[in-house]
Amino acid sequence: MNKRGRPVVGGISGFFFGLFLGVTLLSFGILPLNSPVLTFLPIIGLALGLVLAFTAPIPRRGGSAPPAL
Amino acid sequence: MRILIRVALLALGCAGVMVAFAVPAAADLSGPCEASGQFVKSKVTVDAKTAKGTIEIEPEDKVKYTGTVEGATPPRKTSGEVKVDLPFPLADFKPGEWSDDEADDTEKTDTYSYDLPAFAPRGYDVEVSGFHQDGSLPKCSGSVTLRVKGGFFSSPAGPVALFFTLVSAAGIFMAARPKPA
């Protein structure tokens, strides 16, 4: 059995993580309004969410993760 | 421990990208033009040729602006625009755009009013740029960096965004755990 998390949840959460992180950094005055980082953050978040969901590196509490093939 | 190191490396990488893309705060104006604006409520007067650094303005204000062109011979063809740079894929906001095939004026004075919505974030740098093409004269172009007064808690946008950042991070955490067998 594949050791895998939830890629759909990971992708959606990652995208919104990047989007809202951008607005947060904007609100703190760390990024200017025309910064390209605001465009890249949702894409980086999407990729990060997918990678973490496919590799599932965080073990479940109270039991060991099934071994990867 | 390995995941913490990976997250720390990712955060450092993101910080490096942010520094690399940071926009220097400045104002400039090139070409045979003069432009200035007086922010009435903010009590700030900005000369596009001499302004230095970031100019702090109020979220709601009136700007009495003046623009002049040296050496123009009316009537002539003119065009230009003033825009606020927004991140891709958002289209730039253009508060002013003009075009005239037989322009006679070499100076314009008017008032522009703006009012940021209450939910819009405050405290970040906004680059306002523009150009004016006047007949066969060299093109005038310039930009100025403005910062709306306020901070993280001055509008609901900051705290709401931070809340949903944490909710999304929890979603990533959930997705990064293996499905139960």
For residue range A14-28, list pLDDT tens digits in order: 999 999 999 999 999
Q: What is the pLDDT of residue A61?
A: 75
Instruction: Please list the ranges in chain B whose pLDDT falls under 70.
Output: 1-27
SS (H, E, C) B110-148: EEEEEECCCCCCCCCEEEEEEEEEECCCCCEEEEEEEEE
C-alpha distance from residue B36 to each of A5, B27, B74, B87 (Å): 57, 11, 22, 26
Mention every residue, 6+ apart, whose C-beta is less than 8 A from residue A47: A14
Give the pLDDT confidence score for residue B24 in this predicted structure.
Answer: 44
Q: Which of B124, B153, B174 would you mutate first to test chain A, the one with the most A CBs within 10 A?
A: B124
How many independent structural domains does chain B possess?
Answer: 1
pLDDT at B154: 92
In a domain, B60, yes or no: yes
Task: Give me the pLDDT at residue B172, please.
Answer: 96
Specify the pLDDT at position A31. 94
User: In chain B, positions 86-145, which contact chain A (CB-CB < 8 Å)?
Assistant: 86-89, 121-127, 145
Taking all residues of chain A, what is their mean pLDDT, rounded to a whole number?
88
Which is nearest to B121 in space by CA: B95, B144, B154?
Answer: B154
Is B37 a member of any domain?
A: yes
Which residues, in sequence order, are bridge partners of residue B103?
A: B76
Query: If you average pLDDT over residues A43-55, what whole number do you get?
Result: 96
- Can you give the pLDDT at residue B162? 97
Q: Which two tokens stand for residue B64?
A: 């009495």
ipTM of this complex: 0.85
Q: What is the pLDDT at residue B179?
A: 86
> Is residue B130 within 8 Å of residue B82, measured between CB atoms?
yes
Q: Is residue B43 part of a domain?
A: yes
Q: pTM value?
A: 0.77
Contact A32 B175 (CB under 8 A): no
How many whole angstroms separate alpha carbon B68 and alpha carbon B134? Answer: 11
Cβ distance B152 to A58 less than 8 Å, yes or no, reads: no
Return the pLDDT at B9. Answer: 42
Facing A23 at nearest CB: one of B89, B161, B169 = B161
- Taking the CA of residue B31 and the nearest CA in chain A, the distance in Å comes to 24
B49: its two tokens: 């040729």
Distances (CA, A) of B73 to B104, B133, B134: 8, 13, 9
Question: How far is the C-alpha of B34 from the C-alpha of B67, rounded, in Å?
Answer: 6
Query: Residue B73: its pLDDT value, please?
Result: 86
Instruction: State the best of A16, A33, A54, A61 to mutate against chain B, taking most chain B CBs within 10 Å.
Output: A33
| Chain A interface includes B22 (CB < 8 A) | yes
Best of A24, A31, A46 to substitute, by most chain B Cβ atoms within 10 angstroms, is A24
What residue in B sits closest to A54 (Cα-Cα)?
A: B176
pLDDT of A62 strictly over 70: no
Token representation of residue B104: 């006679």
On whether residue B74 sits in a domain, the answer given is: yes
Token pair listed for B44: 């700030």
Return the pLDDT at A65.
52
| Domain range for B74 | 26-175
pLDDT at A2: 57
Q: Which long-range contacts (CB under 8 A, 24 or more apart) does B91-99 make?
A: B96/B130
> Could you tell me the pLDDT band of residue A64, with boundaries at 50, 70 and 90?
low
- Contact of A54 with chain B, judged by CB distance below 8 Å, is answered with no
